[in-house]
Amino acid sequence: MEVVGSVSLVVLGAILGFVATKLSSWQESRSRRNLLIGMFKYELRRVKNEFPTYDESLVFHRDTLRFASIEKLIEGNCLSYKREGKLIQELLFFRIAVARYNDFVSVSNYTQNCGSMSNEAHREVFNIIADYHLLVREIKARITLLLPNEIPEVGGL
């Protein structure tokens, strides 16, 4: 009888240890998810809702858009492909649009600083940048609708 009682205690201890490990892992995953989504919400605010009109008398300089959290959200295990596939898809589209926007912004900024560009060429590049910025804003709007409301933006802003 003592052996059965000892074995039962060992089995119960193993089960409780397993449950505690799973609970701790779930809590860590949840915390990572909440932090990354909150950070992404904060980073999304960098995407302004408007784009300036072209003024040939002004030097046009734009900052590139950088998102520290997007790769972790896409590549990590924070989002479920089954439950949040649409969000992941929009994040992939967003990453592509931001990369294209950044490419043209970098070319424009570099050319203005180190080279020369005719006003017509500069206007054309500006218009391409404006088009990509519009695409980024459109995808941002779709993503914002898919992000969980219960997770606040980092910094509470």
Class of residue 120 by CB neighbours under 10 A (exposed 0-12, middle 13-18, buried 19+): exposed
Is position 152 within any domain?
Answer: no
Tell me the C-alpha distance between 20 and 2, whole Å.
27
Is position 154 within any domain?
Answer: no
Is position 41 within any domain?
Answer: yes
Domains in the chain: how many in total?
1
What domain range is 30 assigned to? 2-146
Rounded average pLDDT over 103-124: 84
Q: What pLDDT score does 58 carry? A: 76
Q: How confident is the model at residue 23 (pLDDT cuts 50, 70, 90)?
A: low
Is position 33 within any domain?
Answer: yes
Tell me the C-alpha distance between 49 and 57, whole Å.
23
Is position 119 within any domain?
Answer: yes
Over residues 53-64, the pLDDT tens digits come to 988 887 778 899
Both tokens assigned to 88: 């992941």
Torsion angle, alpha carbons of 35, 40, 45, 49, to 10: -150
Is position 36 within any domain?
Answer: yes
Query: Is it the case that residue 1 has pLDDT exceeding 70?
Result: no
Is position 151 within any domain?
Answer: no
Query: Is it the case that residue 17 has pLDDT exceeding 80?
Result: no
Is position 77 within any domain?
Answer: yes
Over residues 75-93, the pLDDT tens digits come to 988 899 999 999 999 999 9
Please tell me the least confidently modeled range out of 4-8, 85-89, 145-149. 4-8
